[in-house]
Amino acid sequence: MDETAITMRGVRAGYGATTVLHDITARVPRARVTALVGHNGSGKSTLLGVLAGALAPTAGTVERSGDRRPALVLQHTDVPAAMPMTVRDAVAMGRWADRGWWRPLTRGDRAVIADCMDRVGVAGLARRQLGELSGGQYQRVLIAQGLAQRSDLLLLDEPGAGLDRESRRRILGIFDDLVADGVTIVHATHDADAAERADHRLPLKEGRLLAGEPALERAQR
């Protein structure tokens, strides 16, 4: 089995006439946690957009293994926490990628939704309104929504931003469990603890890759 989930070669990308990413060449290992590390403005979110296919590179190539579309989880989603919606309904939105919003959920869809809520520890909150959740609970719901797309590549933009230390620790624990199930995770972070815990790191500064990691530290231990 190919051990690489994504290969980037000479990727450049930006918005309009502004180039944000400059000649990014790197790989993302399969079924591992990769952290995109850098300060605000370093290009982490732009790179996630490229990996998700939401932003086309202006040069270079991005090759993804597998035939499932990546699942992108943003800090600010189309489901504001104040919207009158239950946790189950929010996670169910993840099935729209396959079925569209207009089609009724099948028994299989409901099983997927229940499984995803269980995997991130929000099954007991299924009937709660989003506005009643803590920041950590809400972020776990967004992760479950991403998982409901049934992708083996999960991309997250600053999943621990604004959360307390315990909530951040729990999300990193969820990452470990998902990787054990074969999910590849790429998350942007400027949190040193989250970066250190990752299997692989891609450090960015002003849209340039400072240094790739030639090996997976944990895999080789």
The pLDDT value recorded for residue 81 is 57
* pLDDT mean across residues, the chain: 86
Q: At what angle do helices 135-147 and 107-119 cross, to 10 degrees?
A: 140
First-to-last C-alpha distance (Å) of the chain: 20
- Give, for all 221 residues of the chain, the pLDDT tens digit: 469 999 999 999 999 999 999 999 999 999 999 999 998 889 999 999 999 999 999 999 999 987 678 998 876 555 555 667 899 999 999 887 776 666 788 899 999 999 999 988 899 999 999 889 888 888 889 989 988 988 889 999 988 888 888 888 888 998 998 999 899 999 999 888 899 999 999 999 999 999 755 433 333 33
The pLDDT value recorded for residue 92 is 92
Q: Are 140 and 120 in contact (CB under 8 A)?
A: yes
Q: Are 155 and 187 in contact (CB under 8 A)?
A: yes
The pLDDT value recorded for residue 101 is 63
Distance of alpha carbon 53 from alpha carbon 50, whole angstroms: 5
pLDDT tens digits, 155-171: 999 888 888 888 888 88
Q: Are 118 and 176 in contact (CB under 8 A)?
A: no
pLDDT tens digits, 48-90: 999 999 999 999 999 998 767 899 887 655 555 566 789 999 9
